[in-house]
Amino acid sequence: MTEIQEFAPAKLNLYLHVLGRDARGYHLLDSLVAFADIGDTLMVMPSEALSLTITGPFSSGLESDSRNLVWKAATALAGAFGRLPNVAVTLIKTLPVASGIGGGSSDAAAMLRALCRLWRIDPDDPRVMQVARSLGSDVPVCLAAKACFMGGTGEILTPCPPLPAAHLVLVNPGVAVPTKAVFAARRGDFTAPKPFAARPSDADGLAASLKPPANDLTDAAITLAPVIGTVLERLERTDGCLLARMLGSGATCFGLFADAATAQTARLGIEQAYPAWWTTACRLQDLPCEGA
């Protein structure tokens, strides 16, 4: 029996602006999204019925039925192509849940990619993207899994300039911050669009280019989980950190570093000081930006 393995990389909102609301009340976004070389893993194979098994360090408490976004992705894609979702799925969950790095959305997108391979569906078939959009605002960008600009409510994806090799330390203090609650807690005016036209050649250039844009959800997330502020302060005073910022709606934050050795040293220092926090070093995926 054929088994398909698909990687679900961590999503990184290098900046995130909230521009306003559309007619339905959904928030309009402007974000530069990249992906890391760490993530969850899905294994999919034909079966007599749909099943989902979840393992890994962050599997506890996750539903393995129709409430799970991976399950929903399988049934939605099968329905769009007039077939039964008869597959056995194993999800190895290595990313923290509700942490602002697109874990659930990336898992769902990986499910769609895996099924396209297994069922020999053209991934560029518009029905695949329609299913992705129906599953959540982050699923389309996770389906592409390439650095790009994300606009609208998540459905507008446009090429971005190539991003340089860069290393990051991701830190999550172990608190789950619901996205809806963070958006509801946001205060102040909406942000005007700020085009990102830089073409940085190294990590220092990337950090400099990212310093004017910010994450408009940071203050709201800190209101709900003040420890996020502690994480950012700890990253900012770490030797070699070029930039510290919250990811998505939190609570995960990243520090940007020029090389792997400096990032690993920073990770070890934070891990020793805060052993209860989830801390890992990673790098931006070496994926080209189409059209750039």
Diameter over CA atoms, the chain: 55
How many other CB atoms sit within 10 Å of the CB of residue 190? 13
SS3 157: strand
CA-to-CA dists, residue 177 to 57, 102, 107, 188, 226, angstroms:
19, 12, 19, 20, 11
SS3 249: coil
Is the Cβ–Cβ distance between 244 and 254 less than 8 Å?
Answer: yes
Cα gap 202→211, rounded to integer Å: 15
Which residues are marked as active site? 11, 138
Cα gap 216→18, rounded to integer Å: 6
